[in-house]
Structure 1
């Protein structure tokens, strides 16, 4: 059994989203992405399907040029290879569910290059 919290020990980086692995299992990984208002994860693709939950706040989520405003409690699922970007309109916490074949490092690299 593993236990994690989306709301405890949240850290924000001043210039880019903060990525933290909360859980890893045989089926996948659960990451928390903490955004300060205005922070961006630029357009990128994932090699595997993902599910994104807005745990708190509000994110403008771009998919293939269309922007979807997602608020606390909203979920979005994407197939692998779909271009997408995220912009926090307020301080926000995002839960990202990754396939076990995907890596947190890939997500961290997107955040680092989005400054």
Structure 2
């Protein structure tokens, strides 16, 4: 039987790597996953968007660098370092980067929804 550490270190969450100025969409990179959580880095260049979409599970999105307008219905939240937003499953939302920006998306797999 192989024992594993009681923790996982995830690095590179604020890296802008992989995001191309020539693309209309951000770079989306899965950084880690287990049976309970998926951690994804969203790396935007200024002006890039993620149009209206929905997640099948609840999500938490944390601002890492830059500034992202996160829209849910009629509400708009500014994601920047030190801020985060929780969105329930299946709620339509969109993102637009005002500047080069990075966010960390956490998909909550074990929510029971």
Does residue 1:78 correspond to 2:87, yes or no?
yes
Alignment partner, residue 26 of structure 2: 17
For residue 94 of structure 1, report the CA deviation from its aligned partner.
0.6
Structure 1 residue 4: deviation in Å? Answer: 2.3
5+ residue gaps, structure 1: 102-115
- Flag structure 2 segments of 5+ consecutive residues without an equivalent: none
Question: Aligned partners of 1:9 and 1:44: how far apart in 2?
Answer: 22
Residues 1:61 and 2:84 aligned together:
no
Classify 1:8/1:55 alpha carbon distance in 2 versus 1 (closer, same or farther; 3 Å). Answer: closer
TM-score w.r.t. length of structure 2: 0.81
Question: What is the aligned-residue RMSD (CA, Å)?
Answer: 1.7
Instruction: State the distance in 2 between where 1:74 and 1:56 align.
Output: 10
The structure whose Rg is larger is: 2
2:10 is aligned, of 4, 12, 21, to 4
Q: Tell me by how many angstroms 1:66 deviates.
A: 2.0
Give the aligned length: 101
- Cα drift, residue 9 of structure 1: 7.3
What is the alpha-carbon distance in structure 1 between the residues aligned to residue 14 and residue 70 of structure 2? 21
Deviation string for 1:20-61 (max 9, x for gaps)?
Answer: 111111211100010000000001111110000001111111
